[in-house]
Amino acid sequence: VWATIDDAERIRHASEAMQEELNDPSLKGVVTEVRLGDPGQVIADRAVELGADLIVIPSHGRTGFTRFLLGSVAERVVRLSHCPVLVTKLPPDK
């Protein structure tokens, strides 16, 4: 079904899903943005647009074959970024 949905609909759906997750009063003021494309490139490009001094990004810390299969957005951001990148380790999946 996703093949029949256009980019605008994908963006709308993702935005609504994020708003549902961020519906906690303690998260009031959090700004979200949905963009399409290669995540590492999009994040690095957006940092340039914002004039960011630092990018903070989480990582699962996968290694070996799993990382080869899944890639690493954090690693790509580090390679493409114009500014320092702080990579934080996420807790293990439950």
Which residue matches tokens 């951001």?
77
Q: What is the pLDDT of residue 64?
A: 75
Q: What is the pLDDT of residues 18-31, one digit of tens each?
A: 999 999 999 988 88
Report long-range pairs for 74-82 (Cβ below 8 Å, ≥24 apart). 75/40, 76/38, 76/39, 76/40, 76/41, 76/44, 77/40, 77/43, 77/44, 79/40, 80/40, 80/41, 80/44, 81/43, 81/44, 81/47, 81/55, 82/44, 82/47, 82/48
**Residue 8: what residue type?**
A
**Residue 52: what residue type?**
A
Q: What pTM did the predictor assign?
A: 0.77
pLDDT tens-digit profile, the chain (94 residues): 556 789 999 999 999 999 999 999 999 888 899 999 999 999 999 999 999 999 999 888 777 766 665 568 988 999 999 999 999 888 876 5
